[in-house]
C-alpha cells in the first residue's frame, strides 16, 4: 500500500473510532446456504422467505461479489479464523472429520485471539469443523473414530475453540457428530440433531443477554450448522415454506437473524454492533436442487454450479453487513471480497496493527463499508474446489484450472469430453453464468492470471509483504490431465514448490 494511501486510510479509520467506542461484532455464517436462497439477493428466482436477512439488507449493505475461501466447509472456516487460505495447510481437498489435531496450529493467531488482545470478550456458538481431539477423561488418551462412533459424554478437548482464542464455546464439530454437544472443552451431552439449531439460537441469545450492561465489547462468532444436512427443520417450522424440508430449514435458519437482532435491540445494543451475515459456500446437491428449480427456486441465482464446484455457484456467497451510523442503509457494493478478509477488516475497524505472520490472504473491507474503494494489496482472489482444483479471479476475468466443475456438478472432471480444453477462462462481466469458455481464444489473459496465481501460491501470501512459507512443501496447481504443455504455461500436474 502506498504511504499516502495508508495515511488516508488510517485517518479514515480514526475518524470512525472517534465517533464511538469499539463495536460489538456478530458474525453469522450459515452452512451451505446458496446465494439464491436469500430472497432479497435474487427476488426473481428465490422462492424462499428470508425476512431476517432481507431486513438486515434494508438496514445495511449487500456485497454482490463476496466469495468464500473454498466451495466446502472446513477450508472456508479456516480462512475466516486466520485470514489465510486453507490450501496453504495440510488440507488440500475435501474437509476434516474430527478426531485429529486442530487444523489451526497452536501458535497461529486467530481473529478471536486478536480481538481478545484488543479488549473484546469472545464466544463461538455453533459448528467448528476445524478438527480437534477427544481425550478419555480418565487416561488422557485420544479416542479414535474406530473406537467410538460418537464422542462420549465427558470426553475432553485439548485443542478446540477455547484453545484458539475464544473464551466460551457451545456447539459441535461437524454434521456427522452433531449429536455430541460440546461446551468449552468437553462433551456435555448427546442430543438429537433436530434440536441443534434451536439450541444454537437459544445460546446465541443467552450470550447477548449476558453482555447487557457490560461495557466490554464482544465478538460473537455464530457458525450455524444449517441448512446443511441433516435437513431437520423443527416441528414449528415444518411446512412453513412451499419448497419442502429444505425451504423450511432455510426459513428456520433465517430466523436466527431475527432472534439475534431482537436480542440486540432489547438491550439497546443495535447501534453499537456490527452484524455480518454470510455462508461458508454454495447450496449442496443434498438439498434437491433439480426439484427446487422445478418449483422456480434457483439456489445459486444466475450462477453456474453449487457447493463443491469451482464455478461461482460453489463459492459466491451472501454477505450482508449492518453497522448503524457507519454503513449506509439499503446500500450495495460490487467490490470483490473474500471471507478471509474478516481478520484484516476487524483490525482496521479497531485501529490496531496486524500481528506478524498473520493474515497472509486478508484485505480490509472497511473502506467499502464506508462507501470507499478497497485499497487492496492483493492482486486477485483464489478459489478452491472440493477436489482441490484452483481458480483465479482478477477483475472481470476468472481462470479455472479444471476441465469441468472441479466438484459435484456435471460435468465433473471424469465426465468432461476428451476434446475439452484443459482449463476454463470466463469474462464474468459479459458472461456471469460462465457459459462461454475463452481459454483457447484468450491465451494472453489466461497466462497472466496463471502467473499471478503461481506467484501468490509460491510466496506463501497473496497480500503485500515479505515471502513466507506454506505449511507443506508442494502444492499441486493443475489436477486435471497429464503432460499438457501450452505456450510456456505450467504443465498440468506441475508442482509449486516453496
> Cβ distance 129 to 32 under 8 Å?
no
Q: Phi/psi of residue 278, each to 5°?
A: -155, -170
pLDDT in tens, 425-460: 999 999 999 999 999 999 999 999 999 999 999 999
The answer to whether domain 24-370 and domain 381-491 are alike in fold is: no
pLDDT in tens, 346-381: 999 999 999 999 999 999 999 999 999 999 999 999
- Render 219-261 in DSSP notation, one character per residue: EEEEEEEEESSS----GGGTTSSSSHHHHHHHHHHHHHHHHHH
Model confidence at 480, in pLDDT bands (50, 70, 90)?
confident
**Would strands 397-400 and 424-427 be described as parallel, antiparallel, or unpaired?**
antiparallel
pLDDT in tens, 287-316: 999 999 999 999 999 999 999 999 999 999
Question: For 203-212, what is the mean pLDDT?
Answer: 97
Examine the pLDDT at 4 and tell me if it is beyond 70.
Answer: no
pLDDT in tens, 92-142: 999 999 999 999 999 999 999 999 999 999 999 999 999 999 999 999 999
Distance from C-alpha of 310 to C-alpha of 406, rounded to nearest angstrom: 6
Residue 481: predicted pLDDT = 61
Residue 328: predicted pLDDT = 98
Q: What percent of the chain has pLDDT over 90?
A: 90
Q: Domain map of the chain by residue range?
A: 24-370, 381-491
Q: Which of 204, 274, 230, 380 is nearest to 390 (CA)?
A: 380
Cβ partners under 8 Å of residue 302, min gap 6:
42, 45, 432, 433
Question: For 480-487, what is the mean pLDDT?
Answer: 50
Question: For 194-201, what is the mean pLDDT?
Answer: 98
Residue 426: predicted pLDDT = 98
CB atoms within 10 A of CB 259: 16
Fold of 381-491: Arylsulfatase, C-terminal domain (3.30.1120)
pLDDT in tens, 43-58: 999 999 999 999 999 9
Fold of 24-370: Alkaline Phosphatase, subunit A (3.40.720)
User: What pTM was computed for the model?
Assistant: 0.94
Question: For 469-491, what is the mean pLDDT?
Answer: 69
Amino acid at each position: 500500500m502506498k504511504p499516502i494511501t495508508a495515511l488516508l486510510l488510517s485517518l479514515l479509520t480514526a475518524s470512525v473510532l472517534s465517533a464511538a467506542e469499539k463495536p460489538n461484532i456478530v458474525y453469522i455464517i450459515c452452512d451451505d446456504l446458496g446465494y439464491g436462497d436469500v430472497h432479497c439477493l435474487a427476488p426473481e428466482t428465490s422462492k424462499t422467505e428470508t425476512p431476517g436477512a432481507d431486513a438486515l439488507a434494508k438496514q445495511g449493505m449487500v456485497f454482490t461479489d463476496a466469495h468464500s475461501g473454498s466451495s466446502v466447509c472446513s477450508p472456508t472456516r479456516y480462512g475466516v479464523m486466520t485470514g489465510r487460505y486453507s490450501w496453504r495447510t495440510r488440507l488440500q481437498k475435501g474437509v476434516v472429520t474430527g478426531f485429529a489435531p486442530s487444523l489451526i496450529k497452536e501458535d497461529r493467531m486467530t481473529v478471536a485471539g486478536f480481538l481478545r488482545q484488543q479488549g473484546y470478550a469472545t464466544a463461538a456458538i455453533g459448528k467448528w469443523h476445524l478438527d480437534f481431539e477427544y481425550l478419555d477423561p480418565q487416561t488422557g488418551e485420544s479416542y479414535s473414530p474406530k473406537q467410538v462412533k460418537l464422542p462420549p459424554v465427558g470426553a475432553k478437548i485439548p485443542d478446540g475453540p477455547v484453545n484458539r482464542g475464544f473464551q466460551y464455546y457451545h456447539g459441535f464439530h461437524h454434521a456427522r457428530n452433531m449429536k455430541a454437544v460440546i461446551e468449552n472443552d468437553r462433551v456435555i451431552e448427546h442430543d438429537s440433531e433436530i434440536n441443534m439449531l434451536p439450541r444454537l439460537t437459544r445460546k446465541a441469545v443467552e450470550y447477548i443477554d449476558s453482555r447487557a450492561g457490560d461495557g466490554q465489547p464482544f465478538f460473537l462468532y455464530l457458525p450455524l450448522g444449517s441448512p446443511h444436512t441433516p435437513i431437520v427443520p423443527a416441528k414449528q417450522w415444518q411446512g412453513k415454506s412451499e419448497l419442502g424440508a429444505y425451504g423450511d430449514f432455510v426459513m428456520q435458519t433465517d430466523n436466527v437473524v431475527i432472534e439475534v437482532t431482537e436480542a440486540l435491540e432489547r438491550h439497546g445494543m443495535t447501534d453499537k454492533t456490527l452484524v455480518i451475515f454470510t455462508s461458508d459456500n454454495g447450496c449442496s446437491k443434498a438439498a434437491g436442487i433439480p426439484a427446487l428449480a422445478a418449483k422456480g427456486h434457483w439456489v445459486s441465482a444466475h450462477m453456474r454450479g453449487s457447493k463443491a464446484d469451482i464455478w461461482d455457484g460453489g463459492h459466491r456467497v451472501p454477505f450482508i453487513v449492518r453497522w448503524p451510523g457507519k454503513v449506509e442503509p439499503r446500500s450495495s457494493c460490487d467490490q470483490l471480497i473474500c471471507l478471509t478478509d474478516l481478520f484484516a477488516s476487524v483490525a482496521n475497524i479497531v485501529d490496531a496493527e496486524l500481528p506478524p505472520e498473520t493474515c497472509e490472504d486478508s484485505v480490509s473491507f472497511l473502506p467499502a463499508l464506508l462507501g470507499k474503494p478497497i485499497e487492496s494489496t492483493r492482486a486477485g482472489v483464489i478459489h478452491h474446489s472440493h477436489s482441490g482444483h484452483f481458480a483465479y479471479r482478477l477483475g472481470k476475468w476468472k481462470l479455472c484450472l479444471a476441465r469441468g466443475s472441479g466438484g459435484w456438478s456435471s460435468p465433473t472432471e471424469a465426465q468432461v469430453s476428451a476434446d475439452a480444453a484443459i482449463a476454463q477462462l470466463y469474462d464474468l462481466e459479459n458472461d456471469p453464468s460462465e457459459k462461454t469458455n475463452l481459454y483457447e481464444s484468450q491465451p494472453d489473459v489466461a497466462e497472466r492470471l496463471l502467473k499471478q496465481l503461481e506467484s501468490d501460491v509460491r510466496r506463501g501470501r497473496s497480500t503485500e509483504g515479505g515471502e513466507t512459507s506454506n505449511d507443506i512443501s508442494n502444492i499441486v496447481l493443475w489436477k486435471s490431465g497429464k503432460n499438457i504443455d501450452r505456450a510456456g504455461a505450467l504443465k498440468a500436474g506441475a508442482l509449486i514448490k516453496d
